A and B are shown apart, each in its own frame.
Chain A
Amino acid sequence: MTVASAPRAAKAGSPPSPARSPRRSARSLARRWSGWLFVLPALVPYVLFVVRPLLLSIQYSLYDWNGIGAATYVGGQNYRTVLTSRDQLVPILHAFELIVFFTVIPVGLGLVTAALLHGLPPGRFATLTRVVLFLPQVIPLVAAAIAWRWVYSTDGVLNQGLSAVGLGGVTRAWLGDFDWALVAVGLIGSWVLLGLCTLLLITGISKIDVSLYEAARLDGAGRVQEFLAVTLPGLRREIGVCVTVTVIAALASFDIIYVTTQGGPGTETLVPGVQIFRLAFTERQIGLASANAVVLMALVLLVILPIQRFSNRED
Chain B
Amino acid sequence: MFIDGSCPRPLGRARASGAWPGVAVAAVLAVTAACGAPGGGSTSAATAPSGSAASTQLPSAPVTLNFYLETGFPLAQKLVDEFHKQHSNVTIKVREDQFAVLTQNAPRVMASADAPDLIRLPTIVDSAKDGLLANLDGYATAYGWDKYSSGLMQQLRVGADGTRGSGPLYALGIGYNVTGVFYNKQLAAKAGIAQPPATVDELEADLAKAKTAGVQPIMQFNDIGGINFPYQDLLNQYEDPAKIADWVFNKPGATLNTPAAVKAGDQIAAWGKAGYFPKDANALDYTTMMARFTKGDGLFMFNGDWESQNLEKAMGNNVGFFLMPPATAGGKYVAMCAPGTYAIPAKAKHPAETAFFLNWVHTNPEARKIIVDTNGASPGGPPSLPIPAVRPGSVVEQTLKASQTLSKSGVAVDFTANATSGIYAGTIKPELQSLITGRQTGAGFAEKLQSAYEKELKR
List residues of B (323-376) whose CB comes within 8 Å of A's CBs. none
Q: Is B66 an interface residue (CB 8 A)?
A: no
Give chain A residues whose Cβ lies under 8 Å from the Cβ of B224.
Answer: 262, 264
In the assembly, what is the distance between CA of A177 and CA of B280, in Å? Answer: 8
B280 to A176, Cβ gap below 8 A?
yes
B280 to A172, Cβ gap below 8 A?
yes
A68 to B111, Cβ gap below 8 A?
yes
Residue among A44, A60, A69, A263 with most chain B CB within 10 A: A69
* Chain B residue nearest in CB terms to A175: B283
Q: Is B41 an interface residue (CB 8 A)?
A: yes
Interface residues on B, range: 35 or more
Partner of A173 from B37, B280, B421 at Cβ < 8 Å? B280
Give chain B residues whose Cβ lies under 8 Å from the Cβ of A311.
Answer: none
A36 to B21, Cβ gap below 8 A?
yes
B25 to A51, Cβ gap below 8 A?
yes
Partner of A153 from B5, B21, B130, B283 at Cβ < 8 Å? B283
Known A71-B38, A178-B439; judge A66-B130 contact (CB<8 A): yes
B38 to A69, Cβ gap below 8 A?
no
List residues of B (269-307) whose CB comes within 8 Å of A's CBs. 279-284, 288
Q: Is B43 an interface residue (CB 8 A)?
A: yes
Give chain A residues whose Cβ lies under 8 Å from the Cβ of B426.
Answer: 278, 282-283
In the assembly, what is the distance between CA of A52 and CA of B223, in Å? Answer: 37
Q: Is A174 an interface residue (CB 8 A)?
A: yes
Partner of B421 from A72, A153, A282 at Cβ < 8 Å? A282
0 or 1 for each of A201-226: is its CB under 8 Å from B? (1 = yes):
00000000000000000000000000
Number of interface residues of A (CB under 8 A): 51
A59 to B284, Cβ gap below 8 A?
no
Give chain B residues whose Cβ lies under 8 Å from the Cβ of A58.
Answer: 32
Q: Is A308 an interface residue (CB 8 A)?
A: no
CB distance from B146 to the nearest CB of A (A): 28
CB distance from B439 to the nearest CB of A (A): 7
* Chain B residue nearest in CB terms to A57: B32
B39 to A173, Cβ gap below 8 A?
no
0 or 1 for each of A114-142: is its CB under 8 Å from B? (1 = yes):
00000000000000000000000000000
B430 to A69, Cβ gap below 8 A?
no
Could you jot down 11 A-B contacts, CB within 8 Å? A40-B21, A44-B24, A47-B21, A51-B28, A65-B39, A66-B39, A71-B38, A71-B39, A173-B280, A178-B437, A283-B456
Given A55-B32, A56-B38, A68-B43, 17 new contacts (CB under 8 A): A39-B21, A47-B25, A65-B37, A66-B39, A66-B130, A70-B40, A176-B223, A178-B282, A264-B282, A265-B283, A265-B430, A266-B430, A266-B434, A278-B425, A282-B426, A283-B422, A284-B107
Residues of A that sit less than 8 Å from B by CB: 33, 36-37, 39-40, 43-44, 47, 51-52, 55-56, 58-60, 63, 65-73, 152-154, 172-178, 261-267, 270, 278-279, 281-286
